[in-house]
C-alpha cells in the first residue's frame, strides 16, 4: 500500500507542476506538442521534417527526452530556435519525461522568441501516458513495422492522444500492417482522434500534419 500511495503523490505533484508550466506557456503564447512513441518510430525524423516545413512560419524550439545520449539534440541543434536535451537516466522516473523536467528546461529557453515547442518524449508506449507536462496537444506516432496491434496492447497512450501519426508509410509494401484495422482500433478507443498517414523518409503526408499544427496554434492563440 505504501508504494501505491507514493505513486499517487508523484502523479499529483506532477499535475501541479504541469499546470504551472501551462500558465507560463500561455502567458508567453507558446503552443506545446508532446510527441510520444515506441523507440525508433520516428519522433526525431518527424521533428526534423516539421522544422524544415514550418521554417519562417513559426519560431520552434525542441525539448529532447532520452534515457541517455545527446544524439537527437545534435540532429536538431542547427535547425531549431533553441534545443534542450533532458537525460532521464539517473532520475527517479527514467521511462518518461515529467513536468518538473520541462519546468527546468523552460528556464533555459528564450520564451519571448518562441511560438511552438515540440517535446520529444522518451521512447516508450507506457510511462509517458501517465505524465502530463503542461502541453496543449498529445501526439502518438506508430510506425508500420511495429504492427497494427499496438492500440490493443498499449491502450492508455492512444486513449488520451489528440492525434495519431502512422509513420513509415513507405514500408507498406514490405510489412504486414492492416491500416483499416489499425484505424478501427484507435477510433474505437478514441473517436475524436485526428489520424495522419505519412512517411518522414519520403515526406509524403507531412504537409497535412504541418497544416494541422498551424491550425492548432492559430486556434489556441485566438482563444487566449
Can residue 175 be called a binding residue for a copy of itself (CB under 8 A)? Answer: yes
Position among 155, 187, 212, 220 found at the interface with a copy of itself (CB under 8 A): 155
Can residue 149 be called a binding residue for a copy of itself (CB under 8 A)? Answer: yes
Can residue 192 be called a binding residue for a copy of itself (CB under 8 A)? Answer: no
Can residue 205 be called a binding residue for a copy of itself (CB under 8 A)? Answer: no
Q: How many residues bind a copy of itself (CB under 8 A)?
A: 42
CA distance 21 to 28: 11
- Give me the 31-70 binding string for a copy of itself, x by CB under 8 A, dash otherwise: -------xxx-------------------------xxxx-
Q: Which long-range contacts (CB under 8 A, 24 or more apart) does 192-198 make?
A: 193/158, 193/161, 193/162, 193/163, 193/164, 194/162, 194/163, 194/164, 195/163, 195/164, 195/165, 195/166, 196/163, 196/164, 196/165, 196/166, 197/165, 197/166, 197/169, 198/165, 198/166, 198/167, 198/169
Give the side-chain half-sphere CA count within 13 A for 174: 7
Can residue 147 be called a binding residue for a copy of itself (CB under 8 A)? Answer: yes
Residues at the interface with a copy of itself (CB under 8 A): 2-4, 6-7, 9-10, 38-40, 66-69, 71-72, 89, 92, 94-95, 122-127, 143, 145-147, 149-150, 152-156, 168, 170-171, 174-175
Amino acid at each position: 500500500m505504501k508504494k501505491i500511495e507514493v505513486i499517487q503523490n508523484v502523479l499529483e505533484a506532477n499535475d501541479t507542476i504541469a499546470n504551472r508550466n501551462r500558465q507560463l506557456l500561455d502567458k508567453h503564447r507558446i503552443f506545446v506538442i508532446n510527441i510520444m512513441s515506441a523507440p525508433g518510430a520516428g519522433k526525431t525524423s518527424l521533428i526534423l521534417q516539421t522544422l524544415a516545413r514550418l521554417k519562417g512560419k513559426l519560431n520552434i524550439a525542441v525539448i529532447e527526452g532520452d534515457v541517455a545520449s545527446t544524439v537527437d539534440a545534435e540532429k536538431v541543434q542547427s535547425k531549431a530556435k533553441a534545443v534542450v536535451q533532458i537525460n532521464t537516466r539517473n532520475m527517479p522516473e527514467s521511462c518518461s519525461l515529467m513536468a518538473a523536467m520541462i519546468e527546468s528546461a523552460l528556464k533555459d529557453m528564450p520564451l519571448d522568441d518562441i511560438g511552438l515547442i515540440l517535446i520529444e518524449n522518451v521512447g516508450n508506449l507506457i510511462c509517458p501516458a501517465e505524465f502530463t507536462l503542461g502541453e496543449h496537444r498529445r501526439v502518438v506516432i506508430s510506425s508500420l513495422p511495429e504492427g497494427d496491434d499496438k492500440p490493443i496492447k498499449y491502450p492508455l497512450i492512444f486513449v488520451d492522444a489528440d492525434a495519431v501519426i502512422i509513420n513509415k508509410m513507405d514500408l507498406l509494401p514490405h510489412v504486414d500492417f492492416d491500416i483499416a484495422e489499425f484505424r478501427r482500433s484507435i477510433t474505437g478507443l478514441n473517436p475524436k482522434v485526428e489520424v495522419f498517414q505519412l512517411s518522414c523518409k519520403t515526406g509524403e503526408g507531412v504537409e497535412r500534419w504541418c497544416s494541422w499544427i498551424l491550425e492548432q496554434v492559430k486556434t489556441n492563440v485566438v482563444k487566449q
